[in-house]
Amino acid sequence: MAPYLRPRRLRENAVIRRMVRQTRLSADQLIYPMFVVEGQGVREEIGAMPAQYRFSVDSFAEELRSVRDAGIPAVILFGIPASEAKDSVGSASYDPNGVVCRALRSARKEVPEILLLADVCLCEYTDHGHCGIPVQDPDGRFRIDNDSSLQILAKAAVAYAEAGAHIVAPSDMMDGRVAAIREALDEKKMETVPILSYAAKYASAYYGPFREAAESAPKFGDRKSYQMDPANAREALQEVAIDLEEGADMVMVKPALPYLDIIRQVRDMVDVPLAAYNVSGEYSALCAAFEKGWLNRPATIRETLLSIHRAGADLILTYFAKEAAEMIRKGEM
């Protein structure tokens, strides 16, 4: 007996498939991560991240123009100060003449159409590579002190907003940092600057290439005492709820692909904009497979980003943003 119900009828040709497609990604949903370093004329490829670069401030604007011309509306900046500027408390993070602040001012002047997000964390700016300030317990062991880190993070967020960041994005995972940043911004009459909180940030193995790119690997221990346990899902919802209560305007799940279930659960829980970070390890692993010829690059990028959006992410931070924007322009996404 022939089947009466035939879902394949709506898959018969490309036009029908496009017309009934349930998930559509726009270039307006893409955020491109960028790395800025000290120096002059720097455009240095990152070894673990093919086709991704570190830029000095003077080279940064040219790359921003290419991002704008691709139709990508926003970038998020990660700063890498000179090694001699790093110290135990990450004071370079809030230096108004630091690399990120200079890059923000340059971007505002040279490419004013681009929306600028500034990552707020201490790992790139400390000589120990942790996201907060370490203290030594009486038994000689080091731990990351939560409350003493909040003031530094708040100062950094204010410095970035004053330099021109449209949005600040704390990624440190210290308890209470959203409230501290919101209070500090409001005190400076910058109550209109939104906070995109890395609310559910896991202690992931997928961050390896980023740590090379940002020169931010911890010199001792790991980040498991402040980033989330990959085994936990309900805890992510708690973290999101706390950050929203403290004043976050948008929230993020990081990484994206191993945590599509978390993206879905957060989407079902909240009505605020939800971002997901398609992180360096996800990017580099796929690039390695592309190089080997094991995966088709355009088809895999399309499927990867659609899966993140389908799970519930409104915004996607991805190193594939330029390629994705081109595919969207051609109607291939």
Active-site positions?
A: 201, 254
Helix ranges (H only) for the chain are 14-19, 57-69, 99-110, 146-163, 177-187, 208-214, 234-246, 260-269, 280-292, 297-311, 321-329
Asked if 185 and 234 touch (Cβ cutoff 8 Å), the reply is no
Chain centroid to Cα 185, Å, comes to 21
Which contiguous run of DSSP H or E holds residue 76? strand 74-80
- 94 near 158, Cβ under 8 Å? yes
Chain centroid to CA 122:
15
DSSP 232-278: -SHHHHHHHHHHHHHT-SEEEEESSGGGHHHHHHHHHH--S-EEEEE
Categorise residue 164: left if φ over 0, alpha if ψ from -120 to 50, beta otherwise: left
Cα distances (Å, whole numbers) of residue 25 to 29, 135, 308, 309, 313: 7, 45, 10, 7, 10
Please check whether residue 146 is in contact with residue 180, taking contact to mean a CB–CB distance below 8 angstroms: no
Helix, coil or strand: residue 180: helix
